[in-house]
Amino acid sequence: MKIGELAQAAQCTVETVRYYEKEGLLPAASRTGSNYRSYGPEHAERLRFIRNCRALDMTHGEIRALLVLADTPGTDCGGINHLIDDHIGHVDARIQELLHLKTQLAELRQRCIGENALDECGILHGISEMTAEPKPAHRHTHLC
């Protein structure tokens, strides 16, 4: 199948297919005599796997590690279990970050109860006065 057919089957864009190929997550396709990429069912299966991992908020590094483990016959799933356990820890950390963010926003919201003039807005004053907390050095996410 051609790249457009693969993208349509995987419900993604042609650019996404090319990107995953460039990143080494999706093996390069063979070329036809007219130099078109030619993909097989194994590409569609791999692309579906990658997209499902992304839906689980996994980073490219985690996906790459899973693919290496999946492509190593004769091994057990201990490494996969460890990777997923680590990812659950990352999700737990992100949940804590989001709960903290929600608390900060709720506190800001409480600073402006009425319909004040902008120069008296407690929210704007609160944002201006707050000290932004540094991001953790090893925050594990593909979100900025």
CATH topology of domain 3-55: Multidrug-efflux Transporter Regulator; Chain: A; Domain 2 (1.10.1660)
> Strand, coil or helix: what is 144?
coil
End-to-end CA gap in the chain: 36
CA distances from 129 to 47, 104, 110, 119 (A): 47, 13, 15, 14
pLDDT at 144 over 50: no
For the cut 80, the answer to whether the pLDDT of residue 4 exceeds it is yes
pLDDT at 141 over 60: no
CB 94 within 8 A of CB 58: no
Global pTM value = 0.75
Please check the confidence at residue 103 and state whether its pLDDT lies above 80: yes
With cut-offs at 50, 70 and 90, classify the pLDDT of residue 100.
very high
Mean pLDDT of the chain: 89
